[in-house]
Structure 1
Amino acid sequence: MRSSTPSIALLLACLTTPFSAIAADNMITPSLQSVDVIDHGNKVTIQRGHDRDATLPEIFQKTDRGCPPFCVQPMVAIEGVETIGELEVLGYLKRIAQGESDIMVIDSRTPDWVMRGTIPGSVNVPWNKISRDTAGTFETPSEADTFDHILEDEFGADRNPDTGAWDFSDAKTLVLFCNGIWCPQSTANLRNLVEIGYPTYKLKWYRGGMQDWVSVGLTTVTP
């Protein structure tokens, strides 16, 4: 009888203890508490918030946005480009932190939005830095140079100096996002990349973007 007393006491304690005290940690999934990533050379731990009364940041509380340009995006942005969610983004960020240099997570928003908070480990490549007109050209040579620089130095593509054709054999896998399902900036980046021949299997789209990221309380950083 004596040996059973502690077990009964422990059971009674569990039954009378609030659930929030038992499950003190706000897990990402039942088996995942956090993910360590590298953000501009610094380790950042991505986890969910622990404030049970937390709400969305004010900038993401607005529901009535004008369309165009803030139209609801399709589930498939471009045929062949995989649409992914938060757990897949975390998986790519973890792989980058573990040393895989052939992956980039890209925030396609303009810097003014990025300064309000972004996903740790992401790199800002604004949509208008690689945007082209309907003819596939740029207004100025400097815009074309910027585009080429991004493709070569950041994305790992090679350009044949004789033919001008792009080779994406060693190009990185790019995971793009923006503000969410009402934001067209990452889809604009995807469209321009595919139009110049970037392989669709090397492009991933986090459709939910920052709106979904903050709605589940995941860590953000400001540059």
Structure 2
Amino acid sequence: MQLKTPLAAAMLIVCFAAASNALAAENKITPTLESVDVIHNGATVTIQRGHDRHATLPEIFQKTDRGCPPFCVEPMLAAPGIETVGELEVLDYLHRINQGESDILIVDSRTPDWVMRGTIPGSVNIPWNKINRDTAGTFETPTESDSFHHILEDEFGVNRNAATGAWNFSNAKTLVLFCNGIWCPQSTANLKTLVGIGYPVHKLKWYRGGMQDWVSVGLTTVTP
């Protein structure tokens, strides 16, 4: 009996491992993509799909009536020339960042209280109200604050001519902005503001589905 017990335990471990691997194989991101590694806050995070067949949306994303305005259904295009992307495109950008492309930035436009509930690994939180100031509940009033200038120069790679005050976008990063979902106007307001100051539209991308779509397909999230 003492000889059989370790063998039985080993066989049990092998069975559990095989079952786990089989379950993982059945829940890939695409037929050819199982996971994507990213760096988030200095640590490697593996983005994959959840393997709980009984998982449901987090409670904060189950709500369907949020009040419009300001939480109206957003159009498919944030602004002319800006590409709307989905989960696979976001994952590709994250993979490219992890491979060393430093001219791409995935921007979580939500306020920190939302980010605390989970965000996309590899993204950077720049709250929408650091770029736009909401004075009337419309999410549309741009601001020319010092924090906005700091974000453009230090985060987005934009330079400013000290003599003329004109922005130079030759080294500007490609930005992929998202917020909570198709009812969230925060990232679209930021995109429109960036276009308004001359940010090249081919360097602006919008993940329209945002966090609600991200969690709806079971992709990995992280909290600060």
TM-score (structure 2 length as normaliser): 0.86
Q: CA deviation at 1:64?
A: 1.0
Aligned to 1:131: 132
Q: How does 1:11-160 map to 2 (within 5 A)?
A: 23-25=22-24, 26-131=27-132, 137-138=143-144, 144-160=145-161
The letter of the residue matching 2:100 is G
User: Quick one: distance in 1 between partners of 2:50 and 2:20?
Assistant: 15
User: Quick one: distance in 2 between partners of 1:172 and 1:22?
Assistant: 38
Structure 1 pair 136/187, CA: closer, same or farther in 2 (3 Å)?
A: closer
2:120 and 2:222 in contact (8 A); partners too? yes
User: Quick one: distance in 1 between partners of 2:123 and 2:206?
Assistant: 13
Aligned to 2:222: 221
The letter of the residue matching 1:159 is R
The letter of the residue matching 1:58 is E
Aligned to 2:16: none
Q: CA deviation at 1:24?
A: 1.6
Q: 1:133-165, CA deviations, whole angstroms, 9 ceiling, x for partnerless residues?
A: 878554xxxxx1111000001100000000000
The letter of the residue matching 1:24 is L
Q: CA deviation at 1:22?
A: 8.6
The letter of the residue matching 1:128 is N
Q: CA deviation at 1:41?
A: 1.1
The letter of the residue matching 1:162 is A
User: Quick one: distance in 2 between partners of 1:22 and 1:85?
Assistant: 27
List gaps (5 residues or longer) in structure 1. Answer: 1-19, 139-143
TM-score (structure 1 length as normaliser): 0.86
User: Quick one: distance in 2 between partners of 1:179 and 1:79?
Assistant: 21
Structure 1 pair 63/219, CA: closer, same or farther in 2 (3 Å)?
A: same
User: Quick one: distance in 2 between partners of 1:170 and 1:222?
Assistant: 31
Q: CA deviation at 1:83?
A: 0.1
List gaps (5 residues or longer) in structure 2. Answer: 1-18
Q: Secondary structure at the match of 2:50?
A: coil
Q: Secondary structure at the match of 1:24?
A: helix
Structure 1 pair 128/211, CA: closer, same or farther in 2 (3 Å)?
A: same
| CA RMSD, Structure 1 to Structure 2 (Å) | 1.6
User: Quick one: distance in 2 between partners of 1:39 and 1:131?
Assistant: 26
Structure 1 pair 136/186, CA: closer, same or farther in 2 (3 Å)?
A: closer
Q: 1:169-198, CA deviations, whole angstroms, 9 ceiling, x for partnerless residues?
A: 000000000000000010011011111110
